[in-house]
Amino acid sequence: MGVQEAAPDRPVMDGDDARFRQLADHAPLMIWRCDTTKGCDFFNRPWLEFTGRRMEEELGFGWIELIHPEDAAACVAAFTDAFDRGVSFSIEYRLRRHDGAWRWLMANGQPITADGRFAGYIGSCFDITEMRQALEARRHALEDRESLLSELQHRVKNNAQATTSFLSLQAGRASDPGVAAALRGAATRVMLATLVQDRMFHVTGDAAVDLGPELAVTARTALEITGRSGVTLALRLEDQLELPVSQAAPLALIVNELVVNAARHAFPQGRAGTITLVVHRAGPGVGEVVVADDGIGLPETQGRNTPQGCLGLHLMPRLARQARATIRFAVGDGTRAMLHFACA
């Protein structure tokens, strides 16, 4: 129920009551009127056709008999409260139709005046049953969808964990150091991707992702999982950029790859250094993410099918296309990766 103060210029009843009744009877909705006693002194033809009762049965407080028992107390209380304060009101309640069916009505009441004096209320009702049923069906459908997605996410997460464990186990059994390193890298990649997808799953409905904080968590997690000591992460989240999940997720996966690659390859032999993440607006409608390090720079790229090859460098352009972004690398006093993408 909603109650609001009446506007200064309240509607005034026309003295020609017969004309009012004629107009009300031809209105496309149910209309009622009550006097200063709070009792109703008029119901239009659509109301009587809806209830299937005579005017005499409805007058005064007779209409209350048709309200659903579960709604009657709240409906009468709302009407009485609004009447006592002289304010307009809206309330939803169920009313029994002539065929015995309970139908949901939206009732609106407005104070009226005659010769500048309070004269009662005039109100209207319209049937909102189908609308409520549609909303309820949509609510159930959304609940079912969320339940299904939750179950799917749970299974995907379990499968990813099993895959990570399997790859780690195989890495421990591999006799070739290169193969072992590749398997451990794959296990890390699967685990980090799962963490990103898990966070994105909790973004509800059409809500956007605040890119800066999301990429900050992604970068911190990636650096922690590499277990690389002496390498620190510097954050420069200069602007708030909100993106849909479909765009933010692949950008986060790219940052995963960049941070892991920098931690593993940019600082050899225990060298200390810094990885910097920058998120800002590069121009109107253009966002930029920069991942830079002060390491040794990119080595000559190995073939991706060799144990020494950096698979991430081959995956990132594909992820960039998914994010509708471009990626560019610059080398000099370390490595700098720049991502540009459209944003609001």
Q: What is the pLDDT of residue 5?
A: 41
Q: What is the pLDDT of residue 192?
A: 75
pLDDT band at 170 (very low <50, low <70, confident <90, very high): confident
Q: What is the pLDDT of residues 254-272, one digit of tens each?
A: 999 899 889 988 898 889 9
CATH, range 208-344: 3.30.565.10
41 or 144, greater pLDDT? 41
Q: What is the pLDDT of residue 149?
A: 60
- Output the six-digit token pair for 219: 């970068």
Q: How far is CA 305 from CA 171, 223, 259, 290, in A?
A: 17, 25, 21, 27
Topology (CATH level 3) of domain 2-127:
Beta-Lactamase (3.30.450)
**Mean pLDDT confidence for 234-250:** 92
